Homo-oligomer: A and B are copies of this chain.
């Protein structure tokens, strides 16, 4: 199946871009948890569209409504279900693409898998909008993790060819979440903004890379082989639309290093075993080492572009030209940070429960 992730903390996402509602059911939360709703809304606001000139003008109320799982304002052990009502859905925009699949989207693959019955409006269940309930689960998991001394943060490592300062793998990991463009080096903000605006003017789009860190996970969590932390985070992160790659610690760069460069030697720090460097990104043999977990996620450029593109009429089985209408983000990376943090938070909370 598809929309469930997690083991002890199970997150089950439902909805389509233009269904009545989207939402999430979360099982396994400890009973008695008091969710700080203001913080949750603030977290979700970070992925909301329409925050700046850089994102789509579609407005979403996106206020999550909790319909089960709470009693007297606290989690009660029952599955926590939250729905977000779809408003401002302009289905009329999507009539053309029902016949001609959009390049870079799941229109064609869904058409084949679901025998043409897939919901095409707004991308249906493949829409980036489904990351809103992911962020509900993630935002709650983050609140849970904080009680355990775990902190999650992320920044935009790159948009197009403009590159932020990467994290020091040993930390510290500056909190840049309140910036409109969450980067470490403010000097790149204007350049990134320009790349996005240029792409928008060219009826085009750009991609980018998000770097995420999880601090404060104690050593010894996770499992070997197919249930390692890398496997689990990858399994969650590839659930975010447009992700095409993930790497941990030094990642692909490690393939160019020698063992003596890449190995992280052990030392003692205040009576605790630590490593002198963190090329391993906090995970050895699938299990946490106590060092920060750091990973990078590659996002392809938004596939929705206003330029005419070649496609095929599925009804007439002939080639043609598709022109996608509507407003679309020329870059979704700026909104994807809380999604990546959510994926990491859900997995980490699952390990800790």
Residues of A participating in the B interface, judged by any CB pair closer than 8 Å: 1-5, 8, 10, 12-16, 19-23, 25, 27-28, 31-32, 65-71, 74-81, 83, 100-101, 103-106, 108-110, 112-121, 124-126, 130, 158, 160-161, 199, 202, 204-209, 219-228, 230-231, 234-236, 238-239, 241, 243-252, 254-268, 271, 273, 275-276, 279-281, 283-290, 298-305, 307, 309-312, 314, 317-319
Q: Shortest CB–CB separation between residue A211 and chain B, in angstroms? A: 12
Q: Shortest CB–CB separation between residue A237 and chain B, in angstroms? A: 8
| A285-B252 in contact (CB<8A) | no
B-side contacts of A20, CB under 8 Å: 65-68
B-side contacts of A71, CB under 8 Å: 16, 19, 117-121, 124
| A27-B8 in contact (CB<8A) | no
**20 A-B contacts, Cβ less than 8 Å apart?**
A16-B76, A20-B66, A25-B25, A70-B119, A71-B118, A77-B114, A78-B119, A78-B125, A104-B264, A106-B224, A106-B285, A112-B220, A158-B255, A204-B259, A204-B260, A230-B243, A231-B238, A254-B299, A263-B301, A268-B317
B-side contacts of A309, CB under 8 Å: 260, 263, 265
Which of A79, A234, A289 has the most chain B CB atoms closer than 10 A to its own CB? A79
| B112-A207 in contact (CB<8A) | no
Contact of A285 among B205, B241, B266 (CB under 8 A): B241
B-side contacts of A261, CB under 8 Å: 301
Expressed in whole angstroms, the Cα–Cα distance for A67 and B24 within the complex equals 12
Expressed in whole angstroms, the Cα–Cα distance for A220 and B111 within the complex equals 8
Expressed in whole angstroms, the Cα–Cα distance for A16 and B280 within the complex equals 23
| B223-A317 in contact (CB<8A) | no
| B288-A109 in contact (CB<8A) | yes
